[in-house]
Amino acid sequence: MQTLDVIKKRRSVRSFTDRAVEENKLEKLVEAAIWAPSGGNRQPWNVVIVQPKEDIEQIRAVSPGILGNPGALIVLCADRTKTGGNEEEAGSSIGLYKRYQNVDIGIAAQNICLEATELGLGSCMVGSFNQKAVTELLDIPDRFIPELVVSLGYPQNMPDAPPRRTVKETVIRWIKPEGEK
């Protein structure tokens, strides 16, 4: 598929079949994530992958944003050692990387969702989960903080695309070369 076609085909899927997500596909999704750009090339992401049904159920119990019955979860975690972790660093270059941290995680998550679309999987980015509870359930070391969950599975049905604004409505100003209108 052309890139723009994949982008337009992606949906936030919240209803999945019982079909398990293959391990080789999950590996490809992680590969897509690690090729995301990041501020200062810090690559602040690490992931936890969850496949067993009951483990997913436990994560769902502390993640109101996960709807449906996904076949796998990818929990994107920020590595504090790569982005800075305290207020004194604010304003320094480390502080700046901290500011970029969630942008970087978001880009990596988008890469996952686009690759998932290409592989015939449904995906949904979820921010509505309790970070402390997910850390506890998954025994995530202190160094990492879960920032975003991507739920995955084979779609039960694909939702319609919500309306989008046009290019014209989106551009505030388009400063064109002299002489062009």
Partner 1 sequence: MKSENEEKKLKYELLKLCCFIIVSARGCIDEPKSYGPLRLLDSVERLITLLDNQGLADDFLKEQQTEITTGKFLSGQDEKGFVEFTDKLVIDFTRQLKRARY
Among 5, 18, 31, 57, binds partner 1 (CB under 8 A): 57
Contact with partner 1 (CB under 8 A) among 6, 36, 62, 96: 62
Nearest distance in Å: CB 55, partner 1: 12
Is 130 a binder of partner 1 (CB under 8 A)? yes
Q: Shortest Cβ distance from residue 64 to partner 1 (Å)?
A: 5
Query: C-beta of 67: minimal distance to partner 1 in Å?
Result: 8
Least distance in angstroms from the C-beta of 31 to partner 1: 32
158 scored as a contact of partner 1 (CB under 8 A)? no
Applying CB under 8 A, does 135 fall inside the site for partner 1?
A: no
14 binds partner 1 (CB under 8 A): yes
Based on C-alpha coordinates, what's the Rg of the chain?
18
Q: Which residues pair with 135 in a beta bridge?
A: none
The contact set with partner 1 (CB under 8 A) reads: 14, 57-58, 60-64, 67, 128-130, 133, 159, 162
